Amino acid sequence: MRGGIDLGGTKIQVVVVDDQNKVVREARHPTPKDGGPAGVVNAMAAAMKEAAEAAKVETSALAGAGVGSPGAADPATGEVSQAINVLPEWTGSHPVGADLSAALGTKVAVGNDVDVATDAEFQIGAGREFDSILGVFWGTGVGGGLILDGKPWNGRGAAGEIGHMVVKMHGAQCGCGRRGCMEAYAGRGSMELEARKRHDDGEHTELFKIMRHKDRDRLSSGVWAKALEEHDPLAEKLVHRAVKALGAGVASAVNLLDVECVIIGGGMGTRLGEEYASKIEDAMMPHLFKDDRPPAVRVASLGDLGGAIGAALLVSE
């Protein structure tokens, strides 16, 4: 058995998988807001131990554990850097691989979260019949992962930032400081800012009532899904706007790369599912140069656990 850890800004999702990559046990802990990198490593170790115990295996008996982390993960050194916009107090570079390996008593490999989730869909998920895929992870931001001719494509280390494809010149302000990025319209963080602004300006919406009812402090994917179910007009408007932006941005990426398949994952992507993947597919059509042979568009089949399963694949060799 192997362990996989998906490290996110709000939660740490852990799985124990068998040699067929089937999930044997899982555990989920909140990402600690204080305690810095050491606190995050301790929380990952605790979650892994909990899942391993439930699977009746010592962590030291695991064949290894993988971590999918935000930011830049160096597979050679196990260090993670550039994660400060997602993880609190994460300045500089931290030896996640070495520290976690010491805590668990087994070897640990690290990779970028979006890359491992894309690789999981490619190897055992919705993209397994294809050679070239684009993973689009629609969540708080919009991340992208690329497999071209069977191999991950990272460029000089920063490829796949599909959220920052420009869909409108001089458009909406993006969290990255630039304007008009796809993420400025489609990222759940930007959607929430826009919803708050319009709500404050007097537009009617049930979004924040649903949020409080669900005991959340932000507009989670579940809150958006519930508001859509109730035909909340502002939620419908903002999700429609997000879908249009995704259509333009993803189609532009397809015009450049001509991948066989686009996989829609992430919190929003998996929660809204087939219905919205097909809306994104429709929104791509007017922007596709070769519109007589569009790529397949699929929902990530590993769902919420894809990141953790992908992390476990890091130690499969």
Binding site for Zn ion (CB under 5 A): 164, 174, 176, 178, 181
Q: Where are the beta strands (DSSP E) in the chain?
A: 2-7, 11-17, 23-30, 65-69, 72-74, 79-81, 108-112, 133-138, 142-148, 151-152, 261-265, 296-299
13 close to 308: Cβ distance less than 8 angstroms: yes
Q: With respect to Zn ion, which residue has the nearer C-beta, 181 or 223?
A: 181
Question: Closest approach of Cβ 239 to Zn ion, in Å?
Answer: 19
Residues 6+ apart with CB under 8 A from 146: 118, 133, 134, 135, 152, 153, 154, 159, 160, 257, 259
DSSP characters over 138-186 = ESSSEEEEEEETTEE--TTTTTT-GGGSBSSTT-SBPTTS-BSBTHHHH
Q: With respect to Zn ion, which residue has the nearer C-beta, 164 or 244?
A: 164
Q: With respect to Zn ion, which residue has the nearer C-beta, 76 or 158?
A: 158
Q: Helix or strand or coil: residue 63? A: coil
Q: With respect to Zn ion, which residue has the nearer C-beta, 176 or 193?
A: 176
Question: Closest approach of Cβ 190 to Zn ion, in Å?
Answer: 9
Question: Closest approach of Cβ 40 to Zn ion, in Å?
Answer: 25
13 close to 4: Cβ distance less than 8 angstroms: no
Question: Closest approach of Cβ 262 to Zn ion, in Å?
Answer: 20
Cα separation, 278 vs 273, whole angstroms = 9
Ramachandran assignment for 79, one of left (phi > 0), alpha (psi -120 to 50 degrees), beta (any other): beta
Question: Closest approach of Cβ 102 to Zn ion, in Å?
Answer: 37
Cα separation, 132 vs 257, whole angstroms = 9
Cα separation, 280 vs 244, whole angstroms = 7
Question: Closest approach of Cβ 249 to Zn ion, in Å?
Answer: 11
Q: With respect to Zn ion, which residue has the nearer C-beta, 14 or 165?
A: 165
Question: Closest approach of Cβ 174 to Zn ion, in Å?
Answer: 3
Question: Closest approach of Cβ 9 to Zn ion, in Å?
Answer: 17
Q: Helix or strand or coil: residue 198? A: helix
Q: With respect to Zn ion, which residue has the nearer C-beta, 187 or 267?
A: 187
Q: With respect to Zn ion, which residue has the nearer C-beta, 122 or 185?
A: 185
Q: With respect to Zn ion, which residue has the nearer C-beta, 184 or 288?
A: 184
Sheet holding 151-152, edge to edge: 151-152, 142-148, 133-138, 261-265, 296-299
Instruction: Look up residue 172 and give its two tokens.
Output: 């909406």
